[in-house]
Amino acid sequence: MSECGNKRKLCELGTGEVVHVISYRAKEGLVDEFERIVQETAHCLYHLTAGISDVRVCHPKCGEVVFIVTFLSAEDMAKFRDGPEQDAARALAPVVESGEPTYATSGCLMPAAHTLQSLLAFLKRSITGTSHASHNVGKVREEICRWFPRREEYEKYIHWDQQDPKKYTRNLVFGNEHMDVLLMCWPPGCVSAIHSHDESSCWVALVEGEVFEVQYTMPKLDLQFIEKEMKNPTGAVGRCTRLRVIGETRLSQATASGAYANDEIGVHRIENRSDKPAFTLHVYAPGLRKMKIFKETGQVSVFSVAQVSYMSEYGSKTGTWTTTTHPDGILDIQAWNSWQAGRPS
């Protein structure tokens, strides 16, 4: 078995096209005849259109040729190899070395996939502004989905809460005044709170495993909450209409690999419904500084996330993530009370 095994494969990010390469070299003394047949063969190849997306003929020097044909699928290539390729091979056999190609191979057309570093470079160039309204959402989403995660790239950002292994963790990969890029680590069965994003864009990309993104309509808030929020922008608590699910996206290697949300679209949460860990990359632009937390029963609270601890920053543990840290930015009341109850008086 190859090193790839059953892992996600790079070419799955591509178009599915297949490239076939064949090269020939003329026998000594038969270069002129070789060149005539090659010229005729190239002319025919350039006029093949069904199931073919590109034809290139490389002519390094007299007496050598390389045919490069790109097919829409492996099935199209198989038909070509059983038909036109056999005809060309028979015509060339008398005038080429050993009567056969000097080299032949085929494989998927490699996509223009990002490494983590090239993705971050793109994000730094492309994301500016103080609101999701200033973002080219589609372009950023497209480029994020072109990232091919390699474990050696993101492994240093994987950190778990050893005191509470059921908590998901937030790990800063990169941050500036325009965005925060986080690697989120999701234990089996873990879910986030239902939350908004204030003025920020939120792009989510699957890194490993499987998660679900569930989106809800933005609920209506009661006037009492709105009044409280005006007086206390980061501490108001109140009521809202019941939440209504408007969409659910399964992020896995076999389905979609990315999602997007902002407050004009609605609110959302992330769920790991599997029995295995999962990892996602989140791009918040600008970085989250305030958001609302919702409950399906019709409750809402708003708070500042400026002081929310990260489990790690740039690959190193911060030391500020404690037993009472809640990954959604809310105090973990249950953990605090349990810890206090166990302290000596």
Q: Tell me, letter by letter, the H, E, C secondary structure of 295-324.
A: ECCCEEEEEECCCCCCCEECCEECCCCCCC
On average, the pLDDT of the chain sits at 89
3-state secondary structure of 211: strand
pLDDT at 330: 53
Does the pLDDT at position 2 exceed 80?
A: no
pLDDT digits 0-9 by tens, 99-142: 999 999 999 999 999 999 999 999 999 999 999 999 999 999 99
Enter the pTM of the model. 0.82
Residue with the larger pLDDT of the pair 251 and 343: 251
Rg of the chain (C-alpha set): 28
pLDDT digits 0-9 by tens, 158-203: 999 988 989 999 999 999 999 999 999 999 999 999 999 999 999 9
Instruction: Name the residue among 236, 216, 235 with its Cα closest to residue 224.
Output: 236
Asked if 310 and 321 touch (Cβ cutoff 8 Å), the reply is yes
3-state secondary structure of 144: helix
C-alpha to C-alpha distances, 36 to 29, 59, 169, nearest whole angstrom: 14, 13, 66
* Amino acid letter for position 236: A
In the structure, what pLDDT confidence band is assigned to residue 331 with cuts at 50, 70 and 90?
A: very low
Asked if 89 and 6 touch (Cβ cutoff 8 Å), the reply is no
pLDDT digits 0-9 by tens, 196-245: 999 999 999 999 999 999 999 999 988 888 888 888 777 788 888 889 99
